[in-house]
Amino acid sequence: MKGSYCKYTLNFKRPSGTSRGVLKTKETWFIKLEAQGEIGIGECGLFRGLSIDDCPDYEDKLKWLCENLHLDLEIIYNKLKAFPSIYFGLEMALLSLKGSSPFNLFPSKFTNTQQPIAINGLIWMGDKAFMKAQIAEKINAGFSCLKMKIGALDFETEYDLLKAIRHQFSESDIELRVDANGGFSPDDALQKLERLSKLHLHSIEQPIKQKQWESMAMLCEQTPLPIALDEELIGLIEPEQQKQMLEFIKPQYIILKPSLIGGFKASDQWIKLAEKNAVGWWITSALESNIGLNAIAQYTFTKNSKLPQGLGTGGLFSNNFKSPLVVKNGKLNHVNDQEWDVNLPFY
């Protein structure tokens, strides 16, 4: 088996705001496997500033992988544990290699166009007018679950936006989730959660920054609004670390981003642990191209979750790859009458 890799820069159609700054581009990497005339493609969704594998020797690890594909998979896994996005890219490429086509990793009713996946409509940070326009657009597009990133504006402005949505749409009409990306301080977080809970929100993601276990555990114990951990999972590689975190903090939900936590194998591990501890979960993409999004969506469908998932729509980037992924009525669909168009140098 031969391996090769390349870098690809995704360009946002419009700069997108997060509590970590405004994103204009998104770096990603791809690996290609070749064996017996077949090709497998995987995306290594590095997320600068967030991934634990955001380090100077990232490309060196990709090169090492391509030169050592003859090794046992467990040896490779142990070598790449601190590089979750690369291991996920390898997982994806191996499934791609074995599939009926490079992009058919988990055949199901989703890939056969019979059943879509319910997803949340993401409202990006920005000024009030921009956020209001996004809300109207998502509701008109048929989304019944909205996720709003908060922390860019002052809390009162964001609270008023959420209040306006709830005034127009009851919780039975629209499910509202918010993502603070660690934007609250431990000192005022509980007060803000109490106010937000009056708007009948579904949950809040990562109200305070990760690695503050005692403060987060106290919040999860006292909160009137369910808390979902997101960034808190990043960097917890060993099962014992994961177990300790869940049992200590006792969150209401965890959110799984395969590119940031180590792929399908790691996601399965987290799901098993969450269900053992009566913790809810859902799966989210992390600004991958349509190649990574396709793999995550196919995997997500096999998990049979009843919650709307946090999967992207593929529409953020001007140079994304044409794919069979289509959003209709707030759901992600796989339509077989639309072909892939992948313009990577090695494909």
Check 61, 149, 209, 331 and give the catalytic one: 149
Which amino acid belongs to residue 277?
A: N
Ramachandran quadrant class, 15 (left: phi over 0; alpha: psi -120 to 50; beta: rest): beta
* Catalytic position from the list 138, 147, 192, 257: 257
Burial pattern 152-190, b for ≥16 Cβ within 10 A else e, equals bbebeebbebbeebbeebeeeebbbbbbbbbbbeeeebb
User: What CA–CA distance (Å, rounded) separates 328 from 344?
Assistant: 28
Per-state percent for the chain, helix, strand, coil, to nearest 5: 35, 25, 40
Give me the phi and psi of 24, to 5 degrees please.
-110, -30
Strand partners, 203: 177
Strand ranges of the sheet holding 227-229, from the earlier edge strand across to the other edge: 121-123, 145-149, 175-179, 203-205, 227-229, 253-256, 280-283
Question: Contact 163/140 with Cβ under 8 angstroms?
Answer: no
Q: Which of 3, 4, 21 has its CA nearest to residue 12? A: 21
Q: Which residues pair with 26 in a beta bridge?
A: 10
Note if 257 is an active site residue.
Answer: yes
Active-site annotation, residues: 149, 257
